[in-house]
Chain A
Amino acid sequence: MANVWVFVREQDGGPSTIGLELLTKARTLGDVTAIYVGTGSDESFAILGDHGASSVFHLAPGDALVSGPVASALADLAGTHNPDIILFGQAYDDRDVAGRLAARIGRTVLSNAVDVALDDTVEATHEIFGGSQLATSTITGERPYLVVVRPKSFEAASSGGGAPEVTTVDLPDVGSSAARVTGSHVEEKEGPQLEEAAIIVAGGRGLGSAEKYAMIEAIAKQLGAATGATRAIVDAGWVPYAKQVGQTGKTVKPDVYIAAGISGAMQHLVGMKDAKTIIAINKDPEAPIFSVADLGIVGDVHNVLPKLAEELGKG
């Protein structure tokens, strides 16, 4: 049976959602070990077990930036235990550890995967060109194979597994590669979180100016929706990065996605095209967003949105 490892970063005191998604997939590939990075607790380890991990290596980074020491410890662990594959999520620390580990052990990384199969070799599926094409890639070199997987590629599900065997691993001193996390600043969360929301209202450059994003917020409030944005308006400084949907932002799969003034660049489509229903408003009838829309309104958001808000306000 294949020896499958999954990197799981602690988030808000428990295993990250992407970590649980990967554990769920991993148990179809072989016997699963979770690499758990965080403070750790019996409750967290039980959740890992309940998602298919039979054993856990627990690494507690304290205030160290995780990538240096964790990649170094993982390289040693992999050398001793010979995993066939290590899965990582397309998330901040996950990506950092995957990259450093790869360079350390001389294996490349298959990144941005939406599916993964393991047989004589590894096969990863990637969405390219805004998700209009699927590419399959493989690694010709030695194991372990390192694969970074996009969030929401798999659905997290309980395996009914019991408490895993937990081994605590000491982190090495990485000398000149070390960095420290000296503080955290949490932005206030208002309304539903983007990744969890059933409805998302998102805006793009077609809004014309930062002030007009208020129209997006108003409609989102009326619908109990989360607000999203394109990279173009995040780069322009209209809204914070946390709102960005797309390749370099968040991947979302809500029931309803309302795209207002969004043309549908590849970058954006790959993050939202799997929404159950997509409603698009854009004045350019040729905008690529209409190719994925279930309902498309060819019109000016400055006319359509205020009227929509008014209509919704009638209850």
Chain B
Amino acid sequence: MKVVVCVKQIPDPASEYTLEPDSHWLVRPSEQVLDDTDRYGVEMGLQLAQASEDGSVTLVSMGPTGNMQGIRQALAMGADKAVVVDDTDLRGSDALTTARVLAAAITREGFDLVIAGTESTDGYSGVVPQMVAEFLDVPALTYATKIEIGDGVTIHRQATSGYDTVEASLPALVTVTAGVVEPRYPTFKGIMDAKKKPVDTVTVNDLGVNAEVDQKVTAVSPAPERSAGTIIEDDGEGHLAIVAKLRELKVI
């Protein structure tokens, strides 16, 4: 089974995010990391590929390649190869353009199953995988907490309270929630092997897609701040301050 996993390199979430002054685009340093939520999709893809005949895992990503640290992280987990669409024309892409590009790259690779996270940690539009599925003309089995491959694909789909069981035939796209599976840590051998694995860098022209962008960020301003609260050091009596506050609010 041929599995394609969509992954994204993002600025380290522990760092402070900044925007470019005029375009309001997120500043992307050359040092970017694998979006943590993508580790679940990569792990799931590896397990499903390993359990099938002729299984393979291809990573597909869009964005500035940088020093490729994030892509290498996913390759080090065990993915076979990566395709990165890196093109300055794609700076400031909206959700639809991103989906169009990813779908074109996925179609070029071929697939039985596409796996993506539910949303990225830096952009979190939360609609790109569904758009990709529509472009690929396959079902989008979303918010999976469990995946099984038989004749088709069956998932547990996260619901407001509990889950639904959803079935479809292959090829299909599945989005996975964190916790669908426990991601492995790359081994030393995995990290060394990752340096030799093929990474195909392509442009919008190579894919023949329209990179036009319809969404514009027009302004960014500070949100109204909450008035400063009372911060106290716990000297063994901190809990009494909480009780007093709850009394004041007439909660108890």
Contact = CB atoms under 8 A, between A and B. Distances in A.
A242 interface: yes
Interface residues of B, number: 81
A279 B156 CA distance: 36
A212 B174 CA distance: 34
A136 B222 CA distance: 11
Contacts of B241: 295, 297
In this complex, the member of A95, A107, A123 whose beta carbon has the largest number of chain B beta carbons within 10 angstroms is A95
Nearest to B240: A311
A159 interface: no
Contacts of B137: 176-177
B165 A134 contact: no
A138 interface: yes
A248 to B, nearest CB: 6
Interface stretch (B1-9, B69-77, B213-221): B213-221
A239 to B, nearest CB: 10
Interface residues of A, number: 92
Interface in A122-148: 123, 127-129, 131-141, 148
Interface in B140-190: 140-143, 145, 154, 156-169, 172, 177-179
What does DSSP make chain A's interface, helix, strand, loop or mixed?
A: mixed
A123 B218 CA distance: 9
Given A67-B142, A71-B134, A304-B234, A109 B239 contact: no
A181 B143 CA distance: 13
A269 to B, nearest CB: 11
B215 A110 contact: yes
Interface of A: 11, 65, 67-68, 71, 90-92, 95-96, 98-100, 102-104, 106-112, 123, 127-129, 131-141, 148, 176-187, 189, 199, 223, 231, 234-235, 237, 241-242, 247-248, 255-256, 258, 265-267, 273, 277-279, 281, 285, 290-300, 303-305, 307-308, 311-312
27 contacts: A67-B130, A92-B158, A92-B159, A99-B129, A99-B130, A99-B131, A102-B96, A108-B213, A111-B125, A111-B127, A134-B220, A141-B214, A176-B169, A177-B138, A178-B168, A179-B140, A179-B166, A180-B166, A184-B159, A199-B251, A223-B246, A237-B179, A278-B226, A281-B234, A281-B242, A296-B231, A303-B234
Interface of B: 13, 17, 24, 94-97, 99-100, 118-119, 121, 124-135, 137-143, 145, 154, 156-169, 172, 177-179, 213-223, 226, 229-234, 236, 238-243, 245-246, 249, 251-252
Given A136-B219, A241-B179, A255-B249, 15 more contacts: A98-B130, A99-B133, A100-B133, A102-B131, A103-B99, A108-B214, A109-B127, A177-B138, A180-B167, A181-B165, A223-B252, A242-B161, A277-B245, A298-B232, A300-B234
